[in-house]
Amino acid sequence: MSLEENKAIIRKGIEAVNEHNLALLDELMASDFVDHTLQIRGLAGAKQFYIVFFKGFPDFHMAIEDIVAEGDMVWVRLKSTGTHTGEFYFPTPSGKMMTLAPTGKKITIKSVNIRRVVDGKIVEGWSVSDLLDFLKQLGVIEYKGFPDEVT
């Protein structure tokens, strides 16, 4: 597949998520998809991740800021937004799940996602985002940064 075709697959996947059309992921993702960062295994695992995320952030939306392809890899810089109006579940560092009651807070997440596309299907993924800022925006943690003076 061409670089432009690979980018089109990623764009279509982002549109599907924005429209909550997870059935469309069946044609875009391999059944054995692996997200190495989020430890998601399989197409069903990817769909489950979005279902949980949509419960917490029903208006979740991703906007592409940049997209670059090379070989079978596509890099996407995203700005995602949403409002925390439903219960949200997320893993703690110990591996336990934490439930966060709705806060009504609006969040913005900047991320870079890398996807590998083979034969027209997304087969692997990696992502980098500022989860510390995400938790700060939700009020889960208070982070003030480094002190003005460090001795």
User: Edge to edge, what strands does the sheet with 121-129 contain?
Assistant: 40-41, 29-35, 121-129, 106-118, 73-83, 61-70
pLDDT at 80: 97
For residues 142 and 7, the model is more confident at 7
Which domain does 80 fall in, by range?
Answer: 3-138
What is the chain's length? 151
In a domain, 29, yes or no: yes
Let me know if residue 44 belongs to a domain.
Answer: yes
CA-to-CA distance for 140 and 91, rounded, in angstroms?
13
pLDDT tens for residues 29-42? 999 999 999 889 99
Q: What's the mean pLDDT in 59-84? A: 98
* pLDDT score of 9 more than 70: yes
Q: Which residues are within 8 A (CB) of 128 and not within 5 positions of it... i.e. 6 or more apart?
A: 37, 111, 112
Comparing CA positions, the residue from 62, 64, 67, 65 lying closest to residue 80 is 62
**Is pLDDT above 90 for 46?**
yes
Which pLDDT does position 96 carry in this prediction? 80
Q: Is pLDDT at 20 greater than 80 in this prediction?
A: yes
The pLDDT of residue 148 is: 72
CATH number, domain containing residue 133: 3.10.450.50
Residue 148 lies in a domain: no
Query: What is the reported pLDDT for 151?
Result: 59
Q: Please tell me whether the overall predicted TM-score, pTM, comes out greater than 0.75 for this model.
A: yes
Number of domains in the chain: 1
In a domain, 74, yes or no: yes
Q: Is residue 65 part of a domain?
A: yes
User: Does residue 12 form part of some domain?
Assistant: yes
Task: Give pLDDT, residue 97.
Answer: 80
pLDDT for 95-122, tens place per residue? Answer: 788 888 999 999 999 999 999 999 999 9
Residue 96 covered by a domain: yes
User: Can you tell me whether residue 67 is helix, strand or coil?
Assistant: strand
Q: Is residue 88 part of a domain?
A: yes
